[in-house]
Amino acid sequence: MKLATLALALLASLATDAAFAQAAPDPVTPVDVINAMESNGVHPGYRRNHSKGLCVAGEFKPTAEAKKLSASNIFAGSPVKVVGRFSDAGGNPQFADNTPDPRGFALQFQPADGSTTNMSMLDVPVFPVPTPEGFYQLMTVKSPDALAAFKQKYPRSAPFFAFLGKNGVPESFATADYHSLSAFKLTNDQGKSQFVRWNFLSKQGVHFLSADEAKAKSPDFLAQALQDELKKGPQVWVMRATLANSHDSLVDPSMPWTGPHRLVSLGTLTITQADTDGSGACNPINFDPTNVAKGIEPSDDPVLKFRSPAYAISFGKRTAEK
């Protein structure tokens, strides 16, 4: 009698699980996100996101404190060559620079031993969503009503949109701070590990335009402004790590790290030149942020992990198209 009851219970459980599996939506894939980006138009040979950009080059000088946190070759002590790219968000290479939207700053550190480290950052201090599914839904928003529905579904996106409302257009690519958003694990030579988020803080100061000031700018003013500034001298950022406290989320880029934290200066980035003819050294680089050398590891942030295959699809498409 007990065996028969157990068998019936097991069958009922299996039936419930099967029904749930049929009802549950399929998980969002990197292909879905790339398709959503392409739904606004395909521009052959360009990145599917951050299509409009400007290549830059310079060097990074680490601090002594950086080596205490990480055994990475970018923190070993000697200056490291850096190739980078400033960009506008979205898949349109004719995107108007005077439109409010996040700006990107991607870097590839190229130390002498050949093992590169990438960083892909935004000028917003927090990401709008905690999951790839949320990012996909943001990519499919095409109307004010859809945006309102998105904000209601993802209330933690409020700080992201509030920041853009006040800081939608920088005065220059050089007058913005840039943020990793996701957490990474740093491990030193003694095997001690520490999770951090990092920021590149502008030595030029942080300056954003008002709505009226932005409207008065040309659609391509950001690249020209940076080139003009570089003629006057190098543009500089300080790389700073925020060390995670025990209560900080290591897997949710939409959750700010609040309260007091230990801050460590990791080095100084100096940009000395910018591409002026479209043939910059950054063009063939896939700035996958999970490509990091020993001493730095990606966290289990699902958005961060999702970016790697999405970047690979975009890279493969634009390379084949060229």
Residue numbers annotated as active site: 50
How many helices and strands in the chain, by DSSP H and E? Answer: 9, 10
Q: Which residue has the tokens 């970047």?
A: 311
Backbone angles phi, psi at 4, to 5 degrees: -65, -40
Q: Which of 76, 56, 84, 58 is nearest to 270 (CA)?
A: 58
Residue 48 to residue 51: CA distance in whole angstroms: 6
Task: For helices 132-139 and 302-321, give the axis angle rounded to 10 degrees.
Answer: 50
DSSP string computed for 176-225: S-EE--S-EEEE-TTS-EEEEEEEEEETT---B--HHHHHTS-TTHHHHH
Q: What is the DSSP letter of 156?
A: G
Contact 234, 270 (CB under 8 A): yes
